[in-house]
Amino acid sequence: MQISVVIPLLNEEESLNELHYWISETLDSNGFSYEIIFVDDGSTDGSWEVISTLSRKRNNIKAIRFNRNFGKSQALHAGFKAAEGDVIITMDADLQDNPEEIPELYKMIAEQNYDLVSGWKKKRYDSVIAKNLPSKLFNAAARKTSGLKLHDFNCGLKAYKNEVIKTVDVYGEMHRYIPVLAKNAGFSNIGEKVVQHQARKYGETKFGMERFLNGFLDLLTIWFLGSFGKRPMHLFGALGVVMFIVGFGFAAYLGIDKLFLNKAGRLITQRPQFYISLVSMLIGIQLFIAGFIGELILRTKREKQRYHIKETL
């Protein structure tokens, strides 16, 4: 099979029939063998009924239904697990991603040998204040931190080699940073393609302003895990050494000053350097302990189920 199209969704019943027709028409006209995987992330409208009807009509549709809303990353994880195509395409269900981009994205993976191609919505039809400006700031920070020169990390329209999605673990709210996760996993041939952005036709966006704050926090997590996730002692141990040396330095200064230079001076406990020394050494010891605990967790952690599937088709 050439293509798997993975579509996470939440309360998009109005757009699903049109989206399915658009994808099928595009891929059929180009002669692709493909499957469409809908992942219903706990919709409370009639989305699952629409998907069920479509799956009875077409045998190339897979459908996964969560028993509640677990988030887009978990939906992508489930879709990736079910995907069998050589190239996996992800797109949103709100008709803002154009399925006619899929053939070119497929060629970039299959013929130009990219590991991952990320869409770039160069011209957007979203609110400038609520979405466009925060998105630009968010993407600039992501480029600076990750080293990836992508313009639009959060674009839902992306293409992947099968081995990429089977290797990368998408969890929490890390769907924004799949290119960074792929890079950290050793997939360095990452490209970008300008894609057409459509104005939302039905309903309202499911994401509020809090996603940008969460995005920056996730970016810090990605940076930490990419740099020190497999060796936490290297970070906490280094910081612990620095803090302990600072504290020990102040303690040595106070001892030498009291014993040899200024014997009749103030008591050591009356000097601020004493408390700086004490606190610094305590913090240094705590950082060492944090590093040891991190190493122990790495060696004892177990994979936990992050979502519960209610039904599949």
Kindly indicate the confidence band of residue 197, based on its pLDDT and cuts at 50, 70 and 90.
confident
pLDDT tens track for 200-248? 777 666 555 566 666 677 777 767 766 776 788 888 888 999 999 999 9
pTM of structure: 0.74
Residue 297 has phi, psi (to 5 degrees) of: -60, -40
106 in Cβ contact with 33 (< 8 Å):
no
Phi, then psi, of 139 in degrees rounded to 5:
-65, -35
Rounded distance, CA 279 to CA 243, Å? 9
Q: Which residue has the higher pLDDT, 288 or 128?
A: 288
Structural element, H or E, at residue 160? strand 158-161
Is the confidence at residue 128, as pLDDT, over 60? no
89 pLDDT above the threshold of 70: yes
The pLDDT, as a whole number, for residue 258 is 83
Q: Where are the alpha helices (DSSP H) in 147-208?
A: 162-167, 178-184
pLDDT of residue 32: 96
- Stretch 240-268: mean pLDDT: 87
61-66: strand order across its sheet: 190-194, 116-120, 158-161, 87-90, 3-9, 34-40, 61-66, 309-312
Q: What is the CA radius of gyration of the chain?
A: 26
Residue-wise pLDDT tens digits, 130-145: 566 667 777 787 787 7
Mean pLDDT over all residues of the chain? 86
Structure tokens at 89: 């395409």
Mapped onto helix, strand or coil, the DSSP state of residue 311 is strand
Indicate whether 79 pLDDT > 80: yes
Contact 197, 121 (CB under 8 A): yes
Residue 70: pLDDT band (50, 70, 90) is very high
Between 249 and 305, name the one with better pLDDT.
Answer: 249
pLDDT of amino acid 234: 85
